Amino acid sequence: MGGAILVAGTTSDAGKSLITAGLCRAFLRRGLKVAPFKAQNMSNNSVVTLDGGEIGRAQAMQARACGLEPSVRFNPVLLKPGSDRTSQLVVRGKAVGQVSARNYAEHRAWLRELTAAELASLREEFDVVICEGAGSPAEINLRATDIANMGLARAADIPVVVVGDIDRGGVLAHMFGTLAVLDPADQALIAGFIVNKFRGDVSLLQPGLDQLEQLTGRRVFGVVPFADRLWLDAEDSLGTVTDRPVGVPQPPIGDEWLRVAAIRLPRISNSTDVEALACEPGVAVSWVTDPAQVAAADLVVVPGSKSTVSDLAWLRERGLADALTARTGPVLAICGGYQMLGKQIIDDVESGQGVVDGLGLLDLDIEFAPDKVLRQTEGTAHGLPVQGYEIHHGRVVRSGDPTWFGNEGSARGNIRGTHWHGLLANDDFRRAYVTEVAISAGRRGFQVAPDTSVESVRETALDAIADLLEENVQVGELLALAQTASYRADPIVRHSLET
């Protein structure tokens, strides 16, 4: 059986996904067969796999780091939040129902067995499996139902390394506290720590790291410096921050910028669709919730949503619906956003609200069905080959507008809508569309770059994180740890905390 290690985090968005991807790429470079694994993910950013299922986007990115196609094996359980209390449960790529935080406990036994068996199967096939935890293992109120953090580590008997984001502050306390609140059997599997997003002189941090090692008896395997180029394929909702640019805007080739406002819906889904736009020099993409920003932008993107009717109501409450209907400039609506722009939504599935009026910007009627459309797609748009994927319950049941391309989507004036995700990652198509938007918006000084490749940017980012780990983390020791037959460390003293 191949080796395995679990990358846990002190918090959500601590860097688990990127560290996991970097280790996948670093081990692949050493000639190993590597696979990623996340037993349970909670995310509305997902992709469709070749085997016809749905998994978290981070696991697709990690599969790429391993030189593999995405597979439901790499993320057998996915929770897609539709509200603060309920999520859609996706098992081995297929939606099987809705669960709440309370009744999810009823599923823990069979899901634990399923995920443990999937990990064991991967370890039979690969030299090493890099597992990613979910949230934080210090959420001890959820320990009884945990299948992704210490629950998985205990079931598979694998060591754990804990990543902390020093950019948030208090990382040493986070690391010590994460270890301290665990029970002794869980503590024994914690092998050490990785500090992420460090800025400055490491020598100033070193005394704290030395004391952390003395207090815990665990190694600090390295300190990863902050890098602003590792922003693609963000999975956590914390990555879509209002009023901040997406990625790192590159200077324009011409003498004008193109300003893109992406509406930050409460239940945003597949937010990564706009990242391809942000790869273009001279295109400044920001997440917005202010109607004035919608009015001022050259292009407005209404992204996907896991709760279409609810997010449509939010658009109206915030005045964003009025701002959209008042626009004369370009609008791009994707999946749930596309559905919102129609005349009518019939939804007895996701929201249960029946017939709901849309914004009426497109002559379109949508009806939700219990079974989800999950498929990879390809076709031709404006004479250019394009690929994408679809993930949605809503179907177009009537359309009075011309299609955007082939038999897909809608086009009316400056408004474009589609159910396809990933469309803008098609380089030639994106260049043509961005050029069209710039002309429509009157940005005559904007010039699209002739050679931007989203896939090359992704590959460069994966190599960059692997390089950072090789330079700043004891990657060889982590590999040896993953290949250890049975790792155990002494529990730390809990007595002072308990008293």
User: CA–CA distance from 220 to each of 164, 211, 233 (Å)?
Assistant: 11, 10, 27
CB-CB contact of 69 with 63 (8 Å) = yes
Q: Are strands 40-42 and 77-81 parallel, antiparallel or unpaired?
A: parallel
CB-CB contact of 303 with 322 (8 Å) = no
C-alpha span between 275 and 280 (Å, rounded) = 9
C-alpha span between 314 and 302 (Å, rounded) = 13
C-alpha span between 158 and 189 (Å, rounded) = 7
Pick the catalytic residue from 24, 107, 335, 393: 335
CB-CB contact of 79 with 40 (8 Å) = yes
C-alpha span between 86 and 100 (Å, rounded) = 4
CB-CB contact of 303 with 268 (8 Å) = yes
DSSP code string of 66-104: TT----GGG--EEEEESSSSEEEEEETTEEEEEEETTGG
Active site residue 421: yes
Pick the catalytic residue from 107, 174, 393, 421: 421
Neighbours of 406 (CB within 10 A): 12
As annotated, the active-site residues are 335, 421
